[in-house]
Chain A
Amino acid sequence: MESSELAIEIRDLYKLYGPKPEAALGHIRSRSMRPEDSGHFVALNNVNLAIEPGKICVIMGLSGSGKSTLLRCINRLIDPTGGQIFIQGHEITHASTKELRRIRSSKISMVFQHFALLPHMTVLDNVAFGLRIAGISRKERRDRAAHALELVGLSGWNDRKPSNLSGGMRQRVGLARALVMDTPVLLMDEPFSALDPLIREEMQQELLRLQNTLNKTIVFVTHDPNEAATLGNRIAILLKGEVVQYGRPLDIVISPANDYVRDFVRGINVFNVLSAGQIVDPARPPVVLTGTSVTSLPISRSTAGPVAVTDGTGRILGVVEKTASLGASAADWQSALSQDYIRIAPDQLVAPFLEELSRNGRPLVVVRDDDSLVGVVTGSSVLKALAANSGVKSKCEEARQQPESKSAMAAEQRAG
């Protein structure tokens, strides 16, 4: 079953508020009635989302767009009116109260906007609260809670009350309380929006640092586009309960599906989203060097600039700076091979390397961990991405406007 590969899958989800939500949903589904004529408030309108394990999926939208409702449907703090939700392939939409409690303590934990700590318990007891409910022994839950507090950098505060802590520290406790449950899925409801901007950035980095080792599936609600761009592997943009666009941050920045999304992402600093794998230059395919033969020579070698050279299995051998003078001889290429390039992973942000690229012209070569090549980032590919973000669209691009830009899709495929 396809859904078993996904951490979370949401199908045709609806949430209606009003006198007769079920009946109204029937009309909306059969298309005999438009949602706005149903006399009900449609908080979620046919939401479909597939979230891969280990990824951070950001749900973004204005207040009232249904993002918190969507998040709460995932652990059924709110019961959806219709549709299905699968967590690791198991449908939770019809789980009984008892099952639901088990799922909540073993599969999904949650971090809240205003921390939602219990003021009458110490920090340690707050973190251990979920374990206590799950019936874990006192010693084990205290050990695990202490470890979780260490993880978020709060050891030594165990016996304080939450009221003694600053906002950022309280949210660290909230995070520890969720992490200690050791659940694969973590729901975060605008967790950093109540914090000062500086602390917020610090917490974002902290979350990314933790995510590096923990690899949880995180659903993160925010209304801050830059936060979404910083954290999200995928961003879903919600408008009046509908997902208007779901994709990688760069795709959304470069090719917004409509004006609402465009307005929304205008504030995103494009350098926050430009990862190397996404902007390799399609006009710079690698040269393949196998034994004595050179295959896939650049079509037009007159375009000066470096090309990457790989072996027959796609592993990087090096770069060649000046290709115009080289013939089809493998030996020539072999001797021209240089190791003077900047190696960069596909998901690394490209921003810190741009100065190097512009000043010294050292090629930026995007290589995966196993040495296989993704492509080369060039000045022109960076410019292309920036131009697309500037909002001034060329005539020809307008003509072929699609929800997802082709080059970005191609880049994604190459990036894997």
Chain B
Amino acid sequence: MDFTDFAMQVASAIDNFTNYVSQKFGAVFDFISAIILGINDPLTAALNFVPAWLVIVIAVIGGFAAGRLPLALLGGLGLAFILAMNLWSAAMVTFSLVLTAALISLAIGIPLGTLIAESKRMNAVFEPILDFMQTMPAFVLLVPAVFFFGVGVVPGVVATIFFAMPLPIRLTAHGLKMVEPEVIEAGEAFGASRMTILFFIKLPLAFKSIMAGVNQCIMMSLSMVIIASMIGAGGLGDEIIRSISRLQVGRGVEAGLVVVILAILIDRFTRRISQKIDPTA
């Protein structure tokens, strides 16, 4: 029996399906594109419009407000290093891609996580889907993204959203399920409705877990946005791919370091800020 034939049939069936979908639901994809570009383009423009020194000053002040001297130093020195590496505008493009993808992931992920925590049926439906999304290798996500959205920023962000969304969903649901049953009972015993309990008891008490999801979502977005440079998302990933193809090791490491610094900055800042605004603290 010839399996090559079978494999070709599967591939062509998938091709047919995606073809059909992209033609039939073109409007939907246009809509998604519009949303992504509607967020990303102004963001990129704004980040590149603001002079670098002003961003650094803001980071220092913000760092001091959220985490005193260590965070202020980290913010100031980290961004100064990026500026010194002459990778400022690439970093801003990457940062805006991260923000766009993370924003959309969280806007979908947190409500979905809430739904999963509240409904056993939704949990049963989404559990395997989430497993699938989480085990899918990052690169594989690029293929359908390119197919439906071509190359450029939009497929990059779409692939990133798929990659970054499962964790905030899971951590939101986990945080809600972990709320002490006695506290929920207290709400019920005083006549609170399900919605009241959700918004006044469960969500505030799940805050830590939800914010861990936010943090992870942003971090995963950053790693995926770099990979998405392969399909033309742009930013720091472009620098890395370019230096790989030109065998410029030094330049590649520089860009890699900037990614690491960006990651550390985003991680520390989101953590400190979420500690700062934690209602249960």
Contacts and interface: CB of A to CB of B under 8 A. Distances in A.
A77 B189 contact: yes
Contacts of B15: none
A31 interface: no
Contacts of A103: 191
Contact of A120 (B186, B190, B280): B280
Contacts of B182: 112-114, 116
A72 B187 CA distance: 13
Contacts of A119: 205, 280
Contacts of A177: 190
Contacts, number: 65
A113 B181 CA distance: 12
A104 B190 contact: yes
Given A112-B182, A116-B183, A120-B205, A102 B188 contact: no
A77 B280 contact: no
Nearest to B197: A133
B86 interface: no
* Contact count band on A: 20 to 34
Contact of A105 (B180, B183, B190, B279): B190
B193 to A, nearest CB: 7
A116 B193 contact: no
Contacts of A75: 189
Given A118-B201, A120-B204, A120-B280, A133 B196 contact: yes
Main secondary structure of the interface of B (DSSP, over half): helix
Contacts of A110: 185-186, 189-190
A134 B191 contact: yes
A264 interface: no
A350 interface: no
A109 B193 CA distance: 15
Interface string B261-281: 000000000000000000110
Nearest to B181: A116
- Describe A's contact surface by its main secondary structure: mixed
A118 B190 CA distance: 13
B33 to A, nearest CB: 40
B176 to A, nearest CB: 15
B133 interface: no
A116 B191 contact: no
B192 interface: yes
Contacts of A77: 185, 188-189
A118 B193 contact: no
Contacts of A105: 190-191
Given A110-B186, A116-B186, A101 B205 contact: no
Contact of B190 (A72, A113, A114, A133): A133
Interface of A: 72, 75, 77, 100-105, 108-110, 112-114, 116-120, 129-130, 133-134, 177, 181, 187
13 contacts: A77-B185, A104-B189, A110-B186, A117-B186, A118-B183, A119-B280, A120-B205, A120-B279, A120-B280, A130-B191, A133-B190, A133-B191, A177-B190
Ordered nearest first, which 8 A-B pairs have the shortest CB separation?
Answer: A105-B191, A130-B190, A120-B279, A116-B186, A104-B191, A110-B189, A101-B191, A116-B182
